[in-house]
């Protein structure tokens, strides 16, 4: 279970990077930033993708009290591909497969309404994470 969780965390970092679609407006890539908080549950793992400051996001992956919080920086390519690099990884509880700092990966992110879809995840050692990270995420609604 921990091996897929590590891969899921790395993939989740990629998924959480969305709030806009790469096709939105024809702005320069450096003017594009993803926003919002996105949630997904897959294979008993709760994923949370949070976009904060421009070109950074946090991905949390937890199975109960054990998990990891990963901070990433990202860029959006002209083809809409998101390329990310892990800059920080914080283990919580007993989480033996924390992803390494410097791990680079890429993915596609599409938003339609309150649903974001992460697919085409690529990166070294991420094959086990694909089934958990790829798929639909729900936009977290702010409480009023």
The pLDDT tens digits of the residues spanning 83-95 come to: 999 999 999 998 7
Distance CA 76, CA 127 (A): 22
Write phi, then psi, for 5 (nearest 5 degrees). -65, -40
Output the average pLDDT for the chain.
79
Distance CA 53, CA 72 (A): 11
Task: For 34-57, write each residue's pLDDT tens digit.
Answer: 889 999 999 899 999 998 777 999
Nearest alpha-carbon partner for 59 in 102, 4, 6: 6
Per-domain residue ranges for the chain? 2-139
pTM of this structure: 0.75
Residue 139, C-beta contacts closer than 8 angstroms, at least 6 positions apart = 36, 37, 38, 114, 115, 116
């Amino acid at each position: 279970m921990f091996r897929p969780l590590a891969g899921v965390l790395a993939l989740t970092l990629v998924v959480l990077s969305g709030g806009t679609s790469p096709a939105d407006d024809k702005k320069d890539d450096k003017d594009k930033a993803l926003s919002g908080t996105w949630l997904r549950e897959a294979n008993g793992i709760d994923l949370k993708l949070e976009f904060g400051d421009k070109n950074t996001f946090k991905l949390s992956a937890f199975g109960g009290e054990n998990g990891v919080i990963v901070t990433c920086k990202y860029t959006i390519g002209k083809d809409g591909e998101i390329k990310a690099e892990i800059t920080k990884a914080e283990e919580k509880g007993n989480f033996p497969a924390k992803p390494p700092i410097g791990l680079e990966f890429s993915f596609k992110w599409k938003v339609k309404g309150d649903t974001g879809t992460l697919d085409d995840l690529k990166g070294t050692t991420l094959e086990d994470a694909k089934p958990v990270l790829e798929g639909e995420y729900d936009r977290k609604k702010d409480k009023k």
